[in-house]
Amino acid sequence: MTGTLILLRHGESTANADGIFTGWTDAPLTPTGREQAKDAAHLMAAADLLPDVVHTSLLRRTITTADIVLDVLDRPWIPVTRSWRLNERHYGALTGLTKTQVRERTDESTYHAWRRSWATPPPAALPGALTPWNDDRYRSLPPDAWPLTESLADVHARLLPYWADHICTDLTANRTTLVVAHGNSLRALVTHLDQLTTPEVEMLNIPTGQPLRYDLDKGLRPKTARGTYLAPRAAAQQAAAVGRQ
């Protein structure tokens, strides 16, 4: 037996609503995002999916989403672990710009590669800019681990050790495990779980606030490819909207 894995992208943030490349910067949830977190909890309760443990990034949009979910489920007491390895992709010099601004400054092919490709990172931030030099959350992080930009492949590489050392430990102990993370860190994790090809990765969109369930075999491989959204129609509609951005 292995535990069930639930993946949840945080609820809509103010940066999501404004179409901003956010990356490692913090953005609070919008009122819509808070309602999405509550709705996610109700979906989980209806499916009898009560988490035993939770993993989040170090960014407040995942922390707040997880707190709301646990409050609705009346499980604020379960263990919660946070890691920078679950953070959103670092968008480098695009951080803080709107998607409209970036599209106006470059061609469509380059824009698509920066947003959706596996191996192409956005332009790097200047050294010393947009890095966690003075942020207490990252004081224990070796300086050579602080990114100036990241491709999705980079996110995949820094996420896998956390998956192996922490999330897999909970799953093999038969714990129902909730991971609240970001669009790109979850794309990277789904890529690993489903062994996606590069074209499949580029087409993958993770909607905000929609729980995605994976039932895993004893080798921690999905029994059902791509998992199962608890509200499949709503998830498909929201994923399509993400793809159109």
Helix or strand (DSSP H, E) at 215: strand 212-215
Helix, coil or strand: residue 29: strand
User: What number of H helices and E strands is found in the chain?
Assistant: 10, 6
Catalytic residue among 88, 156, 166, 182: 88
For the record, the structure tokens of 82 come out as: 């946070």
Q: Say whether 88 is catalytic.
A: yes
Token match 């999330």: residue? 167
Distance (Å, rounded) from C-alpha 137 to C-alpha 111?
31
Q: Is 55 a catalytic residue?
A: no
Q: What share of the chain is helix, strand, coil (3-state, %, to 5)?
A: 45, 10, 40
* Residues with active-site annotation: 10, 88
